[in-house]
């Protein structure tokens, strides 16, 4: 019994450190999981590139994010590409690869306030369901509207209409939700 | 008062003659009620070894004749009392005076009598061993919320923390085994790491301040007390098992103890608990990932070094894995809005599972306490306590890239506590208690999360000193107490801006608190208690230094480094009594004002992040008031049938802004009808102390809140019906206790305002619990 007692004492004592009044200095974590930047590039058939970008380098608090909006030409088919970066580390880490590797657990949704605009998925995960990193956008008419891009983690891709891009039944949790102004001229 | 060491049972035995050596000895005596001194009629006294017994008559007298000299265990039972065992070395004819804590039965439900004992004269309610055993499936908080004025803040069903008179967490001290429970008390989703099954009794002091105890308290205190090792030379123990239908939970508890009273004078006791349950079910669906696993062990040693010097040691280890409902894990406000608008939440399913995955919590809490009690004279004692606690909390979130097995929060907290106390009875019913305490807390983030920590690293050292003086007259007791606390804290946190750097803070607080109370016997069996107290609470690290997204609540929380300590003034007034031994009642009113009450104020600011837009909440201070009424009554309809009614009313206001306080318990009304049968003869043997109960709990809607103060309206009022059957049986050396309980019998769909899961899913459906306890 005494031995047991003693061993408890040793366990507790071994947790103590030298200066009892100074806290252990925190170790600045390598925030490898953070996404600071979303770049959405739309490439026109003639090679012209339009960039939509949302960048928040210091994370959830601190300074306001920097948002870049773009203008599109009407009656064109753009091919879209998403790039996700973690710019808290140098060089910046490409998170897009991680999302693609876990494609069955992720899906990117595109919601336009103008119903004339819409994207179609041009990529697929291991189960043949879309991920949404690569897309196609067809522009019509002229308008000023908004586009909300959402990355969902663990959505239910089998739920009704989710595979065709309807977010309402997707569930899961939101890793990214950013809104851009879109002008079609 | 000093010998309240042997609680519950006060036995005095003395020899009458010293001649007999043959089997013609008599054991006789009188059973009385500990509080009223009235005789206990039809109480059972039974010699286990001989299966021989007697029933007390109308004067409380009993007699067992023709007993051989020897060692015996007497079992004393009476309906409404906790069954107790007493060891007797029979040499001569023996006369015993046994006083039973008759109100114990009512206490757990009503607390008709104040259990003053060594405690202060503040209002208190106690849950005894038998109730702890018959509610083995519950955790500390859900056990206590059956009392009026006590509720639970929950996160699902497995994670719950108690709320007393509207205060919880850092404003409510939990004293486990004489030591303030140390851990992460700041979150609403952290439950206290205590195994109620290893406790002997749990008391809630609905007080105005805690002069004697260190640790934050703005009034109330929860005392968890382990059982003392009985002074019994034989090996004794108990085993219990329960099954619950909701979550297919199973649990077991064992305890063994022995006291060597010849020579060594050493006693030991061991307690062990294991529990496991799976997904809970609300009336219409299973709640995925709501299982729990728990394994706890406690060791106790006690040694009498001299007649007036006792040393004891207590070691305990609490280990739990708690699932958090998957559907309550959300990314941003859009997800939350979507959750509100769904009829059936995401992540519910038709099938049951024991699996616990992220989001989950893994909590380990170890305590070692060394304690010594030295009686200088029979009326003066000194107590020394040293305790170490190690609290480890890991919280796992659903993370990307296979990181769900890496904790998103990982904290180690080590606390060292030392105390010297002096207690003296002197003069004409004077009592004086004083002590000094020191507590050192070291809180460290384990650098394994790869996430910016929510809580900084810190070291806090607290010094405290207190004094309490009490004087009793015939019908009056007056008590006055005060304490002084000094806290120094050094903090190291990581900046929120890039490049990240380490920022250090130091703060120092010194506080005086004071309290006093009067207890006055009015007419026979009527008592009036009045207390008033002034207490303080220092701002916690989360309130000072939080800075970032608190994903669980979908908000950005900003700490405020200039926060001052909260100052509370609370008064309680209670009247308790009984009328003709048929009607028992207790009414307690309280009023508390808290200056500089710290709360999270929703600001108009919305902050844009890559996860979406989040509302910003700032820690601010205001002047608050909380007042309410706890009322309970028991009416004995016939000698076998009793009814009980209990009502809690509470209102909290932010007086500076003229708005309600958020997260205050809703008012509730509880009623129970209990029928008891003393004996029921079966073919072989009999069942004793049979109890049948139906109960009903009605919880009102929390209407004292503005729509702008919450994401959604508080849930509607609800009504839950329950039932309970229990009985005891002596079989040879074993005494069995069986129980069957049903909760939410009608499978009512409801949500509770204080359960955070209410945003996402319905609360629990029907649950049937069956259990058995055996003692030898």
Whether residue A144 is predicted with pLDDT greater than 50 in this model: the reply is: yes
**Single pTM value for the model:** 0.85
CA distance B447 to chain A (A): 6
Share of chain B above pLDDT 90, in %: 51
Say whether residue A29 is in contact with chain B using an 8 A CB cutoff.
Answer: yes
Phi/psi region, residue B534 (left: phi>0; alpha: psi -120 to 50; beta: rest), is: beta
The CA distance from A139 to B324, in Å, is 44
* Token representation of residue B478: 């007056």
CB–CB of A175 and B611 under 8 A?
yes
The CA distance from B502 to B494, in Å, is 5
- Considering only alpha carbons, which residue of chain A is nearest residue B268? A1
Work out how many CB contacts closer than 8 A connect A with B: 167
The vertex-B454 CA angle with B347 and A151, nearest 5°, equals 40
More confident residue, B305 or B295: B295
Say whether residue A100 is in contact with chain B using an 8 A CB cutoff.
Answer: no
Which pLDDT score, from 0 to 100, does residue B404 have?
A: 87
Lowest mean per-residue pLDDT among B311-315, B386-390, B451-455: B451-455
More confident residue, B34 or B601: B601
Residue A35, SS3 per DSSP: coil
Beta bridge partners of B348: B287
Residues written for chain A: 185
Q: Which residues contact B717 (CB under 8 A, 6 or more apart)?
A: B666, B698, B699, B700, B701
Contact criterion met (CB below 8 Å) for B137 and B251? yes
Contact criterion met (CB below 8 Å) for B334 and A177? yes
Contact criterion met (CB below 8 Å) for A102 and B401? yes
Beta bridge partners of A8: none
Please tell me which of the candidates A25, A35, A59 has its beta carbon nearest to residue B502: A25
- Considering only alpha carbons, which residue of chain A is nearest residue B330? A173
Q: Which residues contact B563 (CB under 8 A, 6 or more apart)?
A: B539, B543, B544, B596, B598, B619, B621
B321-343: pLDDT as tens digits: 999 888 877 777 777 777 777 77
CB–CB of A174 and B330 under 8 A?
yes
The CA distance from B113 to B118, in Å, is 15
Find the mean pLDDT for residues A118-144. 93
CB–CB of A65 and B610 under 8 A?
yes
The CA distance from B464 to B210, in Å, is 12
Please tell me which of the candidates A29, A154, A174 has its beta carbon nearest to residue B334: A174
B406 contacts in chain A (CB < 8 Å):
none
CB–CB of A175 and B315 under 8 A?
no
The CA distance from B236 to B59, in Å, is 32
The CA distance from A93 to B694, in Å, is 62
pLDDT band at A9 (very low <50, low <70, confident <90, very high): very low
Please tell me which of the candidates B412, B497, B608 has its beta carbon nearest to residue A64: B608
Cα A35 off chain centre by? 6
More confident residue, B691 or B610: B691
Say whether residue A99 is in contact with chain B using an 8 A CB cutoff.
Answer: yes
Q: Which of the residues A25, A33, A66 would you substitute to probe the B interface, choosing the one with the greatest number of B C-beta atoms within 10 Å?
A: A33
Find the mean pLDDT for residues B409-418. 95
pLDDT band at B420 (very low <50, low <70, confident <90, very high): very high
Which of A 109-148 lie inside 8 A of B, CB atoms?
A: none
Phi (first) and psi of residue B708, to 5 degrees: -75, -10
CA distance B708 to chain A (A): 24
Contact criterion met (CB below 8 Å) for B290 and B279? yes
* Token representation of residue B538: 């220092």
A21 contacts in chain B (CB < 8 Å):
459, 461, 488, 490
Q: What strand order describes the sheet that includes B150-155?
A: B150-155, B159-164, B167-168
Please tell me which of the candidates B399, B400, B547 has its beta carbon nearest to residue A61: B547
Residue A98, SS3 per DSSP: helix
B162-197: pLDDT as tens digits: 999 999 998 999 999 989 998 888 877 888 999 999
Please tell me which of the candidates B402, B452, B612 has its beta carbon nearest to residue A174: B612
Say whether residue A8 is in contact with chain B using an 8 A CB cutoff.
Answer: yes
The vertex-B338 CA angle with B335 and B343, nearest 5°, equals 140
Q: Which of the residues A5, A29, A52 would you substitute to probe the B interface, choosing the one with the greatest number of B C-beta atoms within 10 Å?
A: A29
Residue B59, SS3 per DSSP: coil
The CA distance from B313 to B387, in Å, is 10
More confident residue, B730 or B104: B730
- Considering only alpha carbons, which residue of chain B is nearest residue A27? B447
Q: Which of the residues B324, B550, B553, B611 would you substitute to probe the A interface, choosing the one with the greatest number of A C-beta atoms within 10 Å?
A: B611
Assembly ipTM: 0.79
Residue among A70, A36, A40 nearest A55 (CA): A36
- Which residue bears the tokens 């004071």? B514
CA distance B7 to chain A (A): 27
B54-84: pLDDT as tens digits: 888 877 888 888 888 888 888 887 766 667 7
A66 contacts in chain B (CB < 8 Å):
none
CA distance A8 to chain B (A): 8
CB–CB of A178 and B610 under 8 A?
yes
Find the mean pLDDT for residues B259-266. 80
A82 contacts in chain B (CB < 8 Å):
none
Please tell me which of the candidates A27, A36, A156 has its beta carbon nearest to residue B610: A36
Phi (first) and psi of residue B701, to 5 degrees: -75, 140
Q: How far apart are the first and last CA of chain A?
A: 84
Give the Cβ contact number of residue B88 at 10 Å: 17
Strands B249-260 and B44-47, sheet pairing: unpaired
A166 contacts in chain B (CB < 8 Å):
none
CB–CB of B330 and A1 under 8 A?
no
B503 contacts in chain A (CB < 8 Å):
none
Lowest mean per-residue pLDDT among B121-125, B299-303, B661-665, B693-697: B121-125
CB–CB of B452 and A29 under 8 A?
yes
CB–CB of A23 and B490 under 8 A?
yes
What rounded mean pLDDT belongs to chain B? 86
Whether residue B5 is predicted with pLDDT greater than 70 in this model: the reply is: no
CB–CB of B502 and A9 under 8 A?
no
Find the mean pLDDT for residues B390-415. 90
Which pLDDT score, from 0 to 100, does residue B4 have?
A: 32
CA distance B499 to chain A (A): 8
CB–CB of A24 and B313 under 8 A?
no
B562-583: pLDDT as tens digits: 999 999 999 999 998 888 878 9
Find the mean pLDDT for residues B27-43. 76
Please tell me which of the candidates B456, B556, B612 has its beta carbon nearest to residue A26: B456
Which pLDDT score, from 0 to 100, does residue B80 have?
A: 60
Cα–Cα separations (whole angstroms), residue B132 to B136, B137, B246, B676, B769: 6, 9, 20, 20, 14
More confident residue, A14 or B146: B146
CB–CB of A173 and B329 under 8 A?
yes
Q: Which of the residues B400, B438, B507, B552 would you substitute to probe the A interface, choosing the one with the greatest number of A C-beta atoms within 10 Å?
A: B400
Q: Is the CA virtual torsion B576, B131, B229, B70 positive or negative? A: positive
Q: Which residues contact B431 (CB under 8 A, 6 or more apart)?
A: B1, B423, B424, B425, B468, B469, B470, B471, B472
Lowest mean per-residue pLDDT among B116-125, B179-188, B220-229, B721-730: B116-125
Residue among A93, A33, A24, A56 nearest B450 (CA): A33
Whether residue B474 is predicted with pLDDT greater than 70 in this model: the reply is: yes
The CA distance from B413 to B389, in Å, is 8
pLDDT band at B727 (very low <50, low <70, confident <90, very high): very high
pLDDT band at B101 (very low <50, low <70, confident <90, very high): low
CB–CB of B447 and A26 under 8 A?
yes
Say whether residue A3 is in contact with chain B using an 8 A CB cutoff.
Answer: no
């Amino acid at each position: 019994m005494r031995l047991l007692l003693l061993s408890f004492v040793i366990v507790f004592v071994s947790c103590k450190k030298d200066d009892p009044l100074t806290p252990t200095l925190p170790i600045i974590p390598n925030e490898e999981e953070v996404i600071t930047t979303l770049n959405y590039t739309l490439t026109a058939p003639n090679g012209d590139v339009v960039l939509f970008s949302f960048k928040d380098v210091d994370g959830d608090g601190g300074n306001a994010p920097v948002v870049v909006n773009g203008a599109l030409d009407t009656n064109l088919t753009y091919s879209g590409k998403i790039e996700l970066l973690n710019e808290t580390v140098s060089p910046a880490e490409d998170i897009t690869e991680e999302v693609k590797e876990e494609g069955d657990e992720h899906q990117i949704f595109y919601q336009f306030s103008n119903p004339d605009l819409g994207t179609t998925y041009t990529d697929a995960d291991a189960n043949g369901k879309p991920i949404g990193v690569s897309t196609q956008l067809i522009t019509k008419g002229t308008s000023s509207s908004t586009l909300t891009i959402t990355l969902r983690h663990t959505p239910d891709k089998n739920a009704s209409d989710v595979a065709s891009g309807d977010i309402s039944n997707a569930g899961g949790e939101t890793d990214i939700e950013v809104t851009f102004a879109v002008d079609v001229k | 008062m000093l010998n309240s060491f042997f609680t519950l049972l006060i036995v005095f035995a003395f020899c009458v003659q010293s001649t007999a050596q043959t089997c013609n000895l008599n054991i006789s005596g009188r059973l009385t009620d500990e509080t009223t001194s009235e005789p206990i009629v039809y109480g059972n006294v039974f010699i286990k070894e001989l299966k021989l017994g007697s029933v007390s008559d109308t004067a409380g007298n009993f007699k067992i004749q023709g007993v051989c000299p020897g060692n015996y265990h007497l079992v004393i039972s009476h309906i409404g009392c906790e069954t107790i065992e007493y060891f007797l070395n029979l040499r001569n004819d023996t006369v015993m005076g046994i006083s039973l804590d008759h109100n114990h039965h009512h206490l757990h439900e009503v607390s008709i009598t104040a259990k003053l004992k060594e405690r202060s004269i503040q209002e208190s309610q106690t849950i005894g061993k038998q109730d702890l055993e018959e509610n083995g499936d519950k955790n500390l908080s859900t056990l206590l919320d059956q009392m009026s004025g006590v509720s639970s803040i929950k996160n699902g069903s497995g994670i719950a923390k108690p709320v007393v008179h509207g205060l919880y967490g850092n404003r409510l001290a939990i004293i486990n085994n004489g030591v303030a429970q140390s851990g992460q008390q700041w979150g609403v989703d952290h439950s206290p790491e205590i195994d109620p099954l290893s406790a002997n009794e749990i008391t809630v002091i609905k007080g105005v301040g805690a002069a004697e105890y260190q640790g934050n308290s703005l009034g109330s205190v929860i005392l968890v007390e382990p059982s003392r090792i009985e002074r019994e030379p034989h090996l004794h123990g108990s085993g219990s098992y329960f099954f619950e239908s909701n979550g297919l939970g199973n649990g077991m508890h064992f305890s063994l103890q022995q006291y060597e009273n010849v020579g060594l004078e050493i006693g030991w006791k061991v307690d062990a608990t294991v529990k496991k349950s799976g997904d809970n079910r609300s009336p219409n669906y299973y709640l995925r990932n709501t299982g729990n696993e728990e394994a706890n062990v406690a060791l106790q040693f006690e040694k009498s070094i001299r007649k007036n010097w006792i040393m004891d040691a207590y070691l305990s280890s609490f280990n739990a894995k708690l699932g958090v409902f998957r559907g309550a894990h959300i990314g941003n406000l859009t997800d939350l809005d979507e959750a509100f608008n769904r009829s059936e939440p995401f992540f519910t399913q038709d099938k049951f599972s024991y699996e616990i995955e992220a989001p989950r919590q893994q909590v380990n809490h170890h305590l070692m306490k060394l304690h010594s009690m030295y009686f200088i004279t029979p009326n003066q004692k000194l107590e020394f306590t040293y305790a170490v606690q190690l609290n480890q909390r890991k919280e796992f979130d659903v993370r990307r890239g296979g990181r769900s097995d890496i904790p998103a929060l990982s904290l180690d907290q080590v606390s060292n506590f030392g105390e010297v106390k002096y207690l003296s009875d002197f003069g004409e019913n004077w009592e004086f208690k004083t002590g000094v305490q020191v507590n050192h807390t070291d809180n460290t983030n384990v650098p394994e999360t790869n996430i910016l920590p929510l809580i900084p690293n810190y070291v806090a050292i607290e010094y405290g000193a207190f004094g309490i003086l009490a004087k009793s007259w015939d019908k009056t007791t007056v008590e006055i107490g005060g304490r002084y606390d000094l806290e120094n804290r050094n903090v190291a946190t990581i900046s929120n801006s890039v490049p990240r750097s380490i920022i250090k803070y130091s703060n120092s607080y010194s506080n005086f608190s004071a309290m006093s109370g009067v207890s006055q016997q009015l007419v026979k069996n009527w008592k009036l208690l009045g207390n008033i107290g002034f207490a303080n609470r220092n701002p916690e690290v989360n309130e000072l230094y939080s800075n970032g997204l608190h994903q669980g609540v979908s908000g950005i929380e900003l700490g405020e480094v200039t926060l001052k300590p909260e100052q509370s003034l609370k008064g309680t007034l209670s009247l308790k009594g009984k009328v003709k031994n048929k009607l028992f009642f207790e009414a307690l009113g309280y009023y508390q004002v808290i200056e500089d009450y710290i709360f999270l104020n929703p600001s108009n600011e919305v902050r844009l992040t890559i996860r979406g837009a989040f509302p910003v909440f700032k820690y601010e201070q205001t002047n608050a008031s909380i007042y309410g009424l706890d009322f309970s009554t028991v009416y004995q309809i016939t000698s076998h049938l009793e009814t009980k009614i209990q009502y809690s009313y509470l209102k909290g206001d932010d007086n500076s802004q003229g708005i309600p306080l958020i997260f205050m318990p809703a008012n509730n009304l509880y009623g129970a009808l209990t029928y008891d049968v003393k004996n029921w003869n079966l073919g072989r043997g009999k069942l004793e102390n049979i109890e049948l109960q139906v109960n009903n709990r009605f919880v009102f809607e929390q209407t004292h809140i503005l729509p702008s103060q919450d994401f959604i309206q508080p849930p509607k009022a609800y009504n839950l019906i329950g039932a309970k059957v229990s009985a005891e049986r002596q079989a040879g050396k074993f005494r069995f206790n069986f129980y069957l309980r049903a909760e939410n019998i009608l499978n009512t769909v409801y949500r509770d305002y204080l359960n955070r899961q209410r945003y996402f899913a319905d609360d629990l459906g029907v649950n049937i619990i069956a259990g058995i306890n055996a003692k030898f």
